[in-house]
Amino acid sequence: MLTFRGGVHPYDGKDLTMNCAIQDLDADDIMVFPMVQHLGAPANPMVKRGERVLVGQIIGEASGFISANVVSSVSGKVKAVEPRVITTGAKVMSVVVENDREYEAVEGYGQPRDWKKLSNDEIRRIIKDAGIVGMGGAGFPANVKLMPGDDEAIEYIIINGAECEPYLTSDYRLMLEEPERLIGGLEILLHMFPNAKAYIGIEKNKPQAIELLEEMTRDNDRIIISPLKTKYPQGGERMLIYAITKRKVHSRKLPKDAGCIVHNVDTCMGIYRAVAESIPSIKRIVTVSGDAVAHPCNFRVYNGTKAQSIIDAAGGYSKTPFRIIAGGPMMGMAQHSMEIPATKNLSALLVFTKKLAAHYDETNCIRCGKCVNVCPEFLAPVIMMNDVQTGDFDGFEKHNGMECIECGSCAYICPARRKLTQNFKLGKLRVGMKRRAEAEKKKKEEAEKKAAEAAAAEDKQEEATVAASANAKEKPDKAAVDTKEKAGKATSVDTEDDSEKTASVAEQPADKAKQLDDMPEKTADEESVSAKGAATPESAASPAPELVAQSVKERREAVPEPMQA
């Protein structure tokens, strides 16, 4: 049978409410909507005092990637926007609405939608707008879970129907009463992830749910019903993934890294209501049980309803309550006030007498090792406890304390009644604070380094600009000097050339006169021939003067001298 190593077998108490059909509970006159109903950043209030809101209206907008919208479950006037106490004991900003009992809804509320024509991004946007979160108690935004990065890498879509916490039966009743919505939600998820198969994990102590869903999925080979061994914490995300796929997930790894997406039964139905029916997250199923409640039952509750109103609807207290727990007895939180409002992640209100919630005195560890045997994460709680008590949070981290899922199995089995889970919560808180401080320091150092690099680059650029400007200023001066020098050289050369030319011209007449004295006089015919020769192209290459003189002399000698009278 599918299961995991470790775990415990506490009295489940499910017989008190497992046969109680879900009842619809009316809303209060004053509804309180905390802006923190999920993991991550708080939502930002979108309305102001005096404004009228409608059913399905977003009154708190997601303020980050890990955040979720808050939607009004009633219509009425905003009475206040102020801090109110929630199940953790903290005060958070809340929108207080005076219910007008008209339940007037926003346009399109409850309208059927053909989801088969929608793209994956459109489906994610609808889920985000509807404010769907994990309804098993963690409250992780559902749209973020459906963004694995690569849709085709998802192989397993796992629906957590184990409901391993004692006394809780809300998911069990939903599987029996609204199985069509559960299957419809799975079909939407399978439409988004074509390579995946769906597995509905249900503990063996819920045979009716197993039989019903097996019959409904008989012809669908992509949906498989996986019976699980009845053991706590079988419904833990890591335990469920390992039981069905044999793949392991640790604190620094997400289910998507193992090819898985895990959703609670109510979350899967919420996805169907939002995508196919246009109904946002405005109600949830709450189990009211315990030995101090008059009539244990399951209610469908409007978000924002006061916890005391839910208890009163169950007949109030049959005995003097010693402890009231929001959630299951293993991982829930004890409450000091019933003024807290019902939120998306409120799965149960359990009221116990002193007999069942007796306080035991803590004694010294007897080294029995039972806590090690039952730990589903293979940790050594006895060593981790010593680390926390001595303030050695580095040792706590070294001993894998951050892998603790706070299931409470070790504290349940401990014969010394040591407050192991509470100390591990403290240890994880301190280590988380240290990690955040280191991350901030690293971020600051990186920012300072980048700023220094940017300043150095700016200084270098400025120096380059100044140098370029100086060079640009020097270049014209140098050019002017070069021009002046060139002009001076040109003037000197020209002067030398002119003086040479002048000297040449001055010397030319004397040379020419001497040459003319040596030369015989030309005849008119020779002068004419010379003139004609100079006018022709061939005259460009004229013979040397001595040759010309020789030729003239020869011709003179050839002419007979005239007779004297």
pLDDT bin (cut points 50, 70, 90) of residue 415 is very high
Distance CA 193, CA 187 (A): 10
Rounded to the nearest integer, the mean pLDDT of the chain is 86
Residue 49, Ramachandran bin (φ over 0: left; ψ between -120 and 50: alpha; else beta) = beta
Least confident of 320-324, 405-409, 453-457: 453-457
Distance CA 343, CA 283 (A): 8
Q: Which of 34-43, 464-473, 493-502 has the highest mean pLDDT?
A: 34-43
Residue 494 has pLDDT above 70, yes or no: no
Mean pLDDT computed over 386-412: 94
Contact between residue 48 and residue 78 where contact means Cβ atoms under 8 Å apart:
yes
pLDDT value of position 522:
45
pLDDT bin (cut points 50, 70, 90) of residue 468 is confident
Residue 516 has pLDDT above 70, yes or no: no
pLDDT bin (cut points 50, 70, 90) of residue 475 is low
pLDDT value of position 502:
43
Residue 503 has pLDDT above 80, yes or no: no
Closest CA to 93 of 48, 127, 28, 136: 48
3-class SS of residue 244: helix
pLDDT value of position 470:
79
Strands 70-71 and 156-160 come out as: unpaired
SS3 content of the chain, % helix, strand, coil (to 5): 45, 15, 40
Q: Tell which wins on pLDDT, 467 or 198.
A: 198
Residue 504 has pLDDT above 50, yes or no: no
Distance CA 118, CA 271 (A): 14
Other CB atoms within a 10 A radius of the CB of residue 280 amount to 27
According to DSSP, residue 443 is labeled: H
Mean pLDDT computed over 182-198: 96
pLDDT value of position 15:
95
Percent of the chain scored above 90 by pLDDT?
75
Distance CA 327, CA 174 (A): 17
Q: What is the pLDDT of residues 436-464, one digit of tens each?
A: 999 999 999 999 999 999 988 888 888 88
Percent of the chain scored above 70 by pLDDT?
84
Closest CA to 139 of 41, 254, 9: 41
Q: Tell which wins on pLDDT, 520 or 167.
A: 167
pLDDT value of position 464:
85
Beta-strand runs (E) in 35-118:
44-45, 52-53, 58-61, 70-71, 76-85, 91-99
Q: What is the pLDDT of residues 59-112, one digit of tens each?
A: 999 998 999 999 999 999 999 999 999 998 899 999 999 999 999 999 999 999
Mean pLDDT computed over 150-162: 95
Contact between residue 154 and residue 259 where contact means Cβ atoms under 8 Å apart:
yes
Q: Tell which wins on pLDDT, 340 or 487.
A: 340
Residue 400 has pLDDT above 70, yes or no: yes
Contact between residue 280 and residue 344 where contact means Cβ atoms under 8 Å apart:
no
pLDDT value of position 486:
55
Token digits of residue 150: 């690569």
